[in-house]
């Protein structure tokens, strides 16, 4: 039988060699396509089978895990009588053999995190104690050693959600990872878990903080309790990472760090006009009256983005010293955005002088400018 098969293959090979070259190439592509299709179908079938098995496993074990958590945590009678640290769980419930399996332990971690998002206070702390007593921290730390970035992210998220410290030696390198998702998760975790220097990763950051990551970080920073807020001007002055400087300007404005004004003023000499625009925006939100004269002085040498920020800053500072400048820009600029922002800044002053100026402008200007003023006076428009 084997000899016949060998002869058949050898005969087919000899016939293949006598075929024209273009037919040989076409046949080779056909065989490759068939082989690739079979592999693709095999992968699809395998993944569907794995998904089916995972669903069956989940349907079997999840009710059992939830029952254990309910009994040991939610219905724990000692919760009202004792401190969380003093409560002991039933060894028989925690030492069930099925809870030793890796896939079951992962389900327990996921359910504990889900519950902890919904329960705070003593119940939340007891859920954390269950996580620690079952030594699930080892499972989370083991994922950190994986070469796959998805598992590293899962590890960081689990430890953060369960408020378990991660050493600087482990987490800081991840805050500068080339993988954006891992980098963002590590930075978020570091801010939430670090007690003394939550912004230390700013010092070593060479990778950018992407706009979406800035939103996430800003939310975490402004909502985390008892976070140590530093003077962000140190990074404005010394960081070479543009995204770090830009983000620090937003934080300076949010926390109204008046002591940072000199460092922000220094950025007005920066060659990058996006930097200058961010700095001007920050000065306006800080109501830095000391910056007004310099902003007026550099106005005519700036690109449009910076000019608009200067006009906005004058409205936010609202010292009243430069209403005439705003009036001139509103009346004589050919750019619609400049006229719009000049009008908004005059109205933003909200003083007897600015209100009188608005009435005067309505009298002397043309119809389009009057419509701009009416639009800017709408109280629903935030500036």
Q: What is the pLDDT of residues 127-160, one digit of tens each?
A: 999 999 999 999 999 999 898 999 999 999 999 9
Residue 78 lies in a domain: yes
Residue 66 placed within a domain:
yes
Range of weakest confidence among 92-106, 148-162, 168-182, 252-266: 92-106
Q: Note the Cα 58 to chain centre separation in Å.
A: 31
Residue 139: inside a domain, yes or no? Answer: no
What is the greatest pairwise CA distance in the chain?
A: 107
In a domain? residue 72:
yes
Element (H, E) at 152: helix 149-161
CA–CA distance, 277 with 259 (Å, rounded to integer): 20
Q: CB 98: neighbour CB atoms within 10 A?
A: 11
Instruction: Give percent above pLDDT 90 in the chain.
Output: 55
Of the two residues 382 and 269, the one the predictor is more confident about is 269
**Number of separate domains in the chain:** 1
Q: Is residue 12 a part of any domain in this protein?
A: no
Determine the Cα–Cα distance for residues 165 and 190; give it in Å rounded to an integer.
9
Cα separation, 244 vs 60, in Å, equals 48
pLDDT at 136: 92
Query: What is the span of the domain harbouring residue 26?
Result: 21-134
| Measured distance CA(147)–CA(177) in Å, rounded | 13
**CA-based angle 362:365:370, to the nearest 5?**
50
Q: Which among 181, 206, 201 has a CA at the least distance from the CA of 190?
A: 201
Q: Which residues contact 263 (CB under 8 A, 6 or more apart)?
A: 233, 236, 237
Q: Is the pLDDT of residue 1 over 70?
A: no
In a domain, 111, yes or no: yes
Indicate the SS3 state at residue 180: helix
Distance of alpha carbon 341 from alpha carbon 231, whole angstroms: 31
> Tokens for 16?
């293949």
Check whether 23 has a pLDDT greater than 80.
Answer: no
């Amino acid at each position: 039988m084997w000899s016949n098969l060998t002869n058949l293959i050898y005969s087919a090979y000899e016939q293949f060699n006598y075929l024209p070259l273009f037919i040989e190439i076409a046949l080779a592509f056909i065989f490759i396509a068939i082989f690739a299709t079979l592999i693709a179908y095999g992968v699809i079938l395998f993944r569907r089978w794995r998904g089916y098995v995972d669903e069956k496993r989940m349907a079997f074990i999840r009710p059992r895990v939830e029952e254990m958590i309910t009994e040991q945590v939610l219905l724990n009678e000692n919760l009202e009588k004792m401190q969380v640290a003093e409560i002991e769980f039933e060894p028989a419930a925690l030492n069930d053999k099925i809870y030793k399996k890796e896939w079951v332990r992962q389900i327990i971690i996921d359910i504990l995190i889900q519950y902890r998002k919904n329960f705070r206070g003593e119940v939340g702390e007891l859920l954390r104690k269950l996580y620690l007593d079952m030594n699930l921290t080892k499972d989370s730390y083991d994922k950190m050693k994986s070469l796959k970035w998805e598992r590293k992210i899962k590890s960081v998220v689990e430890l953060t959600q369960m408020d378990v410290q991660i050493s600087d030696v482990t987490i800081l390198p991840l805050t500068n990872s080339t993988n954006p998702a891992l980098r963002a998760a590590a930075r978020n975790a570091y801010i939430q878990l670090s007690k003394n220097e939550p912004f230390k990763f700013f010092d070593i950051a060479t990778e950018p903080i992407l706009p979406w990551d800035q939103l996430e970080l800003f939310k975490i920073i402004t909502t985390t309790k008892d976070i140590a807020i530093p003077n962000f001007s140190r990074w404005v002055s010394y960081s070479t990472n543009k995204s770090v400087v830009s983000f620090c300007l937003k934080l300076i404005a949010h926390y109204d760090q008046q002591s940072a004004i000199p460092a922000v003023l220094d950025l007005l000499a920066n060659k990058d006009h996006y930097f200058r625009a961010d700095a001007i925006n920050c000065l306006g939100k800080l109501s830095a009256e000391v910056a007004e004269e310099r902003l007026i002085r550099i106005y005519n040498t700036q690109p449009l983005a910076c000019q608009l920020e200067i006009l906005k800053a004058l409205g936010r500072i609202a010292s009243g010293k430069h209403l005439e400048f705003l009036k001139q820009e509103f009346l004589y600029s050919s750019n619609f955005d400049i006229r719009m922002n000049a009008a908004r800044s005059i109205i933003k002053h909200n003083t007897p002088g600015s209100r009188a100026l608005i009435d005067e402008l309505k009298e002397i200007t043309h119809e389009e400018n009057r419509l701009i003023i009416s639009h800017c006076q709408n109280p629903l428009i935030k500036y």
